[in-house]
Amino acid sequence: MAELDEGLETSGGIPQVLTFGTPSVGEILAERYQLEEHIGNDSLGRQLYRGIDVILRRPVAVVLRYPGGESAKEMLGAAVAASRIVHPHLVGVYDAIDEGDRAYVVREWVDGIALRDIVASGPLDPARSVAIAWAVTDAVASLHGTGMAHGNVHPGTVLVAHDGRVVLTDARADDLATPETDIRAIGAVLYCALTGYWPHREAGTYSVPDGVRDNNGALAAPRQVRAGVPTPLDSLVTDLLNPDLPLPSAESLAGELASFGQFEESDLAENGNNALDFEAFDAASQSTVPPKPAGRKLAVGVVGLLVLALAGTLAAAKVLGDPAVPGETPPSVTSSGAPQQAKPANQPTVLKLDGSKVRIVSPKGSKDNAKDAEKMVDGNQATAWNTDRYNNKANFGGLKDGMGVWIDLGEAKQIVSVQVDLATPGASGELRSGTVDLGSGQAQDQQTVDQYKLIEGTAKDEMGPTNLYPGPQEPTRYLLVWITKLPKESSSGRYRVSIAEITVRVQ
């Protein structure tokens, strides 16, 4: 399948492409570039061709706009600026020609696959995610060093080539391109690689599904979306996407990403991948500029691992990256040339639960309003399970250590996230997981609390209206939402918690 991996994507239509007077397959442009195959039309209405340089006998990509002149000024300007920079992680620009009635850019032909299509089959692990982000940042740093910003960093312009490179395509030379927008977009690319989602509101609208958000619209951190994201990496991504925080330079960010190389390699070794041979990827990671020591280690080792992991599973893709505008959708095309819309696969889904799958756990004392437990999984925020009201103390009036909601998923599943919506925020609680149903009763409930393991990063002293927890790293069947302290009701002055809904997302 040949795919066009460029441009911002929404549900909007493809603009009409002017074809009168444009070239045809077999024609030679500028007495040098023979058009071999019409790949399709991009989101800006430009025609994309696979061609061959008849002098150097190498494959090229030809992006053609009809007409040329003023309408092609931005495209040609960006191409000329990008052609001055040679970097292993930037697509090469060979030529830019304006013939008046048509204009075209001739670029390196890259066989590979875009990040947006890689994550359609599921997010990448931290090591691979950092490797991609480092390569993109290193490329952007080279642009910033010349005073140029890229302006078009997103999952469609970040490509993993079959020769082992991570390649960034299609710089834009418009007024919106700044170093700050580039760094923010790199944070979004790293978020996408780690989670399989794109933070729309932070950095544009794409076909990659929007990030998981709470009821207030706040974006969930990567480790809240999927397990196994190291805390320092989670914090880095969150900071890069926070518009209120200052941003590092691209060079500083590249160094910070490279510093993650050590934990990544140890993590990979624990997973049994340390026997992989990285030497085959030395050539792919070589740079024309002196590499940073830590970055060099990361580029050879982790990028090599990425390619090894993808080799044999990624179908050959003919990739042309190019800038686009919001609200327009580039097509994917089959070998026959018929447009088709890419459909993300293997994305997290909400697990359907019912009242038979939940029960109240209370090792000491009564199981408050146990009959209403089903209201937490009925899909209706207006209904809720409430504890009784307790006097004087937040710890259930000093009568018990806690009370919880036990959930049976039916079978062991890889949990992406657990969302707990409270009608009365302010409770203290945590999320635990287990592999065995120990039964119901005070003794059994105590065993459940004792034996179920706390999921890292889920303990909260003050829960908000919407609380998004990461799932455990291993597949699990049973969950326990464990409440230890109750919020105080302003109306009664007593203590009670009300849980409106529990939503479990699984891979």
| pLDDT higher than 80, residue 446 | yes
Predicted confidence at residue 468, as pLDDT, reads 78
Higher pLDDT, 492 or 334: 492
Which range has highest mean pLDDT (16-25, 75-84, 136-145, 318-327)? 136-145
Predicted confidence at residue 99, as pLDDT, reads 83
| pLDDT higher than 70, residue 331 | no
Largest CA distance in the chain: 88
Query: Between helices 179-195 and 250-258, what is the axis angle to 10°?
Result: 30
Predicted confidence at residue 24, as pLDDT, reads 80
Segment 411-424 shows an average pLDDT of 88
Both tokens assigned to 358: 């939940």
- Tell me the average pLDDT of the chain: 76
Both tokens assigned to 144: 């910033």
Alpha helix segments (H runs only) across 288-413: 293-298, 304-310
Segment 83-88 shows an average pLDDT of 80
pLDDT digits 0-9 by tens, 480-491: 999 999 999 888
Higher pLDDT, 442 or 299: 442
Predicted confidence at residue 249, as pLDDT, reads 95
| pLDDT higher than 90, residue 202 | no
Which of 48, 38, 55 minimizes the C-alpha distance to 5? 48
Predicted confidence at residue 110, as pLDDT, reads 84
Indicate the pairing of strand 318-319 with strand 428-434. Answer: unpaired
Indicate the pairing of strand 428-434 with strand 47-53. Answer: unpaired
Higher pLDDT, 36 or 467: 36
Predicted confidence at residue 290, as pLDDT, reads 32
Asked if 163 and 293 touch (Cβ cutoff 8 Å), the reply is: no
Segment 397-408 shows an average pLDDT of 94
| pLDDT higher than 90, residue 310 | no
Predicted confidence at residue 217, as pLDDT, reads 76
Band of the pLDDT at 201, cuts 50, 70, 90?
low
| pLDDT higher than 80, residue 332 | no
| pLDDT higher than 80, residue 117 | yes
Which of 203, 93, 69, 68 minimizes the C-alpha distance to 143? 93
| pLDDT higher than 50, residue 312 | no
Predicted confidence at residue 203, as pLDDT, reads 44
pLDDT digits 0-9 by tens, 4-54: 444 433 333 444 444 555 678 889 988 899 999 988 776 666 788 899 999
| pLDDT higher than 70, residue 204 | no
Provide the b/e sequence for 349-378 (b: ≥16 CB within 10 Å): eebebeeebbbbbbbeeebbeeeebbbbbe
Asked if 313 and 322 touch (Cβ cutoff 8 Å), the reply is: no
Which of 30, 64, 67 minimizes the C-alpha distance to 50? 64
- Percentage of the chain exceeding pLDDT 70: 74
Segment 412-421 shows an average pLDDT of 88
| pLDDT higher than 80, residue 136 | yes
Predicted confidence at residue 417, as pLDDT, reads 83
> What is this structure's pTM?
0.56
- Percentage of the chain exceeding pLDDT 90: 36
